[in-house]
Amino acid sequence: MKVLIDTCIWSHAIRNKKPTEKQALAVIELTELIKESRVEIIGAIRQEILSGIKHSKQFVKLKASLAVFHDIQLTQDDYELAAELFNTLRSKGIQGSNTDFLICAVSINYDLTIFTDDADFKNFKKHIPIRLHEIRE
């Protein structure tokens, strides 16, 4: 099964010079998923990954590294489902970002698991049909 990698996992691999044990395990898992050709990305995640890079040389290098991963081409259905998920969770008092709900919508529409360590997704999962990728032993 393909896995949609959330920005926080990419950040552990790219930016974190002193990762916690959990973050280091996430980077190892990401590396394995890349080797298995199971990684998926969307434009909003790519934008978040590339945002905040201070030096243009670093930006160009990271952009080139990410170029091997092609964005899933999103459709109107993806954005409409993201809005529906936002509304569903909001009605239950649960908040999240537009990007988070877009990730959830893409996960549902394309039958992907989500690899994240953002605790919000565990909360979302209680109310919407998303699946989260767990680090393998």
48-68 pLDDT per residue, tens = 999 989 899 999 999 999 999
Residue at 98 is within a domain: yes
Q: Which two tokens stand for residue 3?
A: 């896995």
CATH of residue 65's domain is 3.40.50.1010
For the chain, what percent of residues have pLDDT higher than 70? 100
Residue at 134 is within a domain: no
Q: What is the DSSP string of 87-125?
A: HHHHHTT----HHHHHHHHHHHHTT-EEE---HHHHHHH
**pTM across the whole model:** 0.95
Residue at 135 is within a domain: no
* Average pLDDT value for the chain: 96
CB–CB of 80/98 below 8 Å?
A: no
Residue at 49 is within a domain: yes
Q: Which domain holds residue 14?
A: 3-125
Residue at 54 is within a domain: yes
